[in-house]
Structure 1
Amino acid sequence: MFGSPVDFSFKELNTISDVLSEEANTVARPAKRDSEQKYISHSLRLSNNFIIELRGLMETLTATFSNPARLAWLDLSFNQIQHIDSALTQLKELRLLYLHGNQICKLSEVDKLALLPSLHTITLHGNPMVTEKDYRAHLIATIPHLKMIDFSAVTKQERELTAVWKKSRNPRKSPSHTKSN
């Protein structure tokens, strides 16, 4: 679906821009490159590194990929990421985002991802935030087009329960009536 991934897993990267000074892991079917030696791929693996933040993400993608705006699959699992950077919202074609095994504490961090119209699969298990009450309901309410959360399908019943949950959290205020003299 996305061609061969460009794989920078297990490279002991500390920052996203460290990709620029590393060679991708060799795989059975390496990603093709264009005439500028940029990768022609729609998927990137950066798992199992020491990345704390996503500063420089777009600059690194632009320097590494022939068409960074077409990135559809991003694996940032098993790093030390604490916040979901708004730079991810520039990846409008992102469909799969793996963030499991990081250090994201606040459930509200996922609110930024509501701007990704194609995002249908996300993993966040192994982050402190998953222990928050109504974790899945919050994700479904925030990103209603999700199909999979933590490798588990979002069911029709879950969507219906989330609609009720959301309505109970944001009840419509009854119209105010003013007294006339």
Structure 2
Amino acid sequence: MFGSPVDFSFKELNTIPDILSDVPNPGALRLKRDSERKFLSRTLRLNNNLISDLSGLTDTISALFAEPNRLAWLDLSFNEIEHIDPVLTQLKELRLLYLHGNRICKLSEVDKLAVLPSLHTITLHGNPIVTEPDYRAHLIATLPHVKMIDFSAVTKQERELTSVWHKSRNPRKSMSQSKVD
């Protein structure tokens, strides 16, 4: 089974590969490792560092985790991230993504995450993006599997209202879909 989170928070790390020359913070439970000394975990915490881009993420998690493709929870909150790196789209089993307290400015950045089929929780509060009109509606329309945004549940009513909002903003798309039906 998978063990405790691998926690590199509050380490003043500037880049993702910096993790490889550091040791994770001790947790309440001992971190489990396989015979190759790779972590048996599905959670990586990199919050409260100085990371501005995700260069080297794939190689780093491959070096750290026994099953890097099974990473389910990634905490990148309180860093210096301005753009959502497409490398995140390779994490097909990612379920929780914390990006709050960064510097993401454009709603279009979130669109990159639409290809993640298992993503059900995302946080972006504390980024300039939250001041964009229709911020939450855009996230709900773009990320159809999401159940929680900024620690707040997406309700059935909110999803229905967002569907109407999205169709009104994309009339050509909704008209072409009705022709197909």
TM-score range, shorter chain: over 0.9
Contact 1:2 1:43 in 2 (8 A): no
Q: Distance in 1 between matches of 2:2 and 2:72?
A: 7
Which of structures 1 and 2 has the bigger CA Rg?
1
Instruction: Describe the shift of the 1:103–1:2 C-alpha distance in structure 2 as closer, same or farther (beyond 3 A).
Output: farther
Q: Distance in 2 between matches of 1:171 and 1:83?
A: 29
2:145 is matched with 145
Sequence identity of aligned pairs in percent? 76
1:117 is matched with 117
Contact 1:44 1:75 in 2 (8 A): yes
Deviation at 1:2, TM superposition (A): 5.9
Dislocated runs of 4+, deviation >3 Å: none
Q: Distance in 1 between matches of 2:46 and 2:98?
A: 10
Contact 1:6 1:30 in 2 (8 A): no
Aligned residue type for 1:131: T
For structure 2, list consecutive stretches of 5 or more residues without a partner in the other structure. 177-181
1:35 is matched with 35
Deviation at 1:36, TM superposition (A): 1.1
Contact 2:2 2:40 in 1 (8 A): no
Q: Distance in 1 between matches of 2:43 and 2:138?
A: 27
SS for the counterpart of 2:172 is coil
TM-score by length of 1: 0.94
1:155-177: per-residue Cα shift (whole Å, max 9, x none)? 011101101100100113879xx
For structure 1, list consecutive stretches of 5 or more residues without a partner in the other structure. 176-181
Q: Distance in 2 between matches of 1:166 and 1:71?
A: 31
1:130 aligns to 2:106 (yes or no): no
Deviation at 1:100, TM superposition (A): 0.2
Q: Distance in 2 between matches of 1:7 and 1:30?
A: 12
